């Protein structure tokens, strides 16, 4: 997809993991960037991406921001050191790792949906960070896998054109919409901290990275 792609209500709903009716209501109320072609609502990809990033950055989606406890969603065995230059390879490696968590019941579905989500719109947030995320019926509770890349991943098409080095993959149950958005917002805000990003990139073991995430920066 290119930056000027025009999305339908169905595509925006799939990207945001909300109902088509919700997207329609937002458009009617002017709460989401949109326009009409005839009687049909249409959405510009770049405007939706900026809208999402703006909401996450401002924590507007998250009235319970401080309720996220990193230790409950990340463990050392779900922190990987990656060495891939292509985002698909990195995403598949993280999805395989995440599928080993007891909360994830279908590895194939997780991998497929992560790649479909990424094809619809990049999950790169800028600053070298990507947060791929899905909600699935085959996931019983929210869980996160972290990838720390030893090499630049340049094909994420981030808004700031920076290569990705840190990937936080989130899988949630389909009925966890609020907690899912809270978690997205939490990591988006915490990873603005350059000191934390640099410290994560300098770690040598999953245990060291985990201690950083649940310690001073994770609360």
112 forms bridges with which residues in the sheet?
none
Look up the domain containing 23 and give its range: 6-57
Structural domain count, the chain: 2
One domain, residues 35 and 105:
no
Window from 12-16, 125-129, 165-169 with minimum mean pLDDT: 12-16
Tell me, what's the pLDDT at 65? 40
CB neighbours of residue 78 within 10 Å: 20
One domain, residues 17 and 97:
no
Window from 1-5, 171-175, 186-190 with minimum mean pLDDT: 1-5
Tell me, what's the pLDDT at 3? 44
Q: Is 45 among the domain residues? A: yes
Tell me, what's the pLDDT at 183? 85
Tell me, what's the pLDDT at 139? 94
Q: Is 14 among the domain residues? A: yes
Q: Which of 34, 54, 9 is nearest to 159 (CA)?
A: 54
Share of residues in the chain with pLDDT > 70 (%): 89
Q: Is 194 among the domain residues? A: yes
One domain, residues 126 and 40:
no
Ramachandran quadrant class, 17 (left: phi over 0; alpha: psi -120 to 50; beta: rest): left
CB neighbours of residue 10 within 10 Å: 10
pTM of the predicted structure, to 2 decimals: 0.70
The span from the CA of 100 to the CA of 112, in Å, is 16
Whichever domain contains 164, its CATH number is 3.40.930.10
29-85 pLDDT tens trace: 787 898 888 888 999 888 888 787 766 555 444 443 445 678 888 999 999 999 999
Query: Do the strands 133-136 and 6-7 form a parallel or antiparallel pair, or are they unpaired?
Result: unpaired
Average pLDDT value for the chain: 85
Whichever domain contains 40, its CATH number is 1.10.10
Tell me, what's the pLDDT at 15? 77
Ramachandran quadrant class, 120 (left: phi over 0; alpha: psi -120 to 50; beta: rest): alpha
Window from 54-58, 108-112, 169-173, 187-191 with minimum mean pLDDT: 54-58
127-164 pLDDT tens trace: 999 999 999 999 999 999 999 999 999 999 887 889 99
Tell me, what's the pLDDT at 10? 87
One domain, residues 39 and 75:
no
One domain, residues 119 and 199:
yes
Q: Residue 1 pLDDT > 50, yes or no?
A: no
């Amino acid at each position: 997809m290119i930056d000027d792609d025009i999305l339908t209500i169905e595509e925006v709903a799939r990207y945001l993991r909300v109902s088509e009716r919700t997207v329609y209501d937002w458009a009617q109320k002017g709460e989401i960037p949109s326009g009409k072609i005839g009687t049909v609502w249409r959405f510009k990809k770049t405007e939706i991406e900026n809208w999402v990033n703006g909401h996450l950055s401002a924590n507007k989606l998250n009235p319970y921001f401080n309720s996220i406890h990193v230790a409950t969603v990340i463990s050392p065995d779900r922190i990987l050191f990656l060495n891939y230059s292509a985002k698909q390879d990195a995403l598949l490696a993280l999805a395989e790792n995440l599928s080993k968590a007891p909360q994830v019941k279908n590895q194939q579905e997780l991998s497929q949906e992560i790649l479909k989500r990424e094809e619809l719109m990049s999950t790169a947030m800028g600053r070298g960070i990507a947060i791929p995320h899905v909600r699935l019926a085959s996931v019983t509770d929210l869980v996160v896998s972290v990838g720390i890349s030893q090499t630049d991943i340049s094909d994420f098409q981030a808004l700031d054109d920076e290569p990705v080095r840190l990937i936080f993959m989130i899988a949630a149950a389909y009925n966890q919409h609020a907690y899912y958005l809270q978690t997205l917002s939490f990591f988006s805000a915490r990873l603005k901290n350059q000191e934390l990003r640099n410290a994560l990139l300098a770690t040598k073991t999953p245990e060291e990275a985990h201690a950083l995430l649940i310690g001073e920066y994770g609360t």
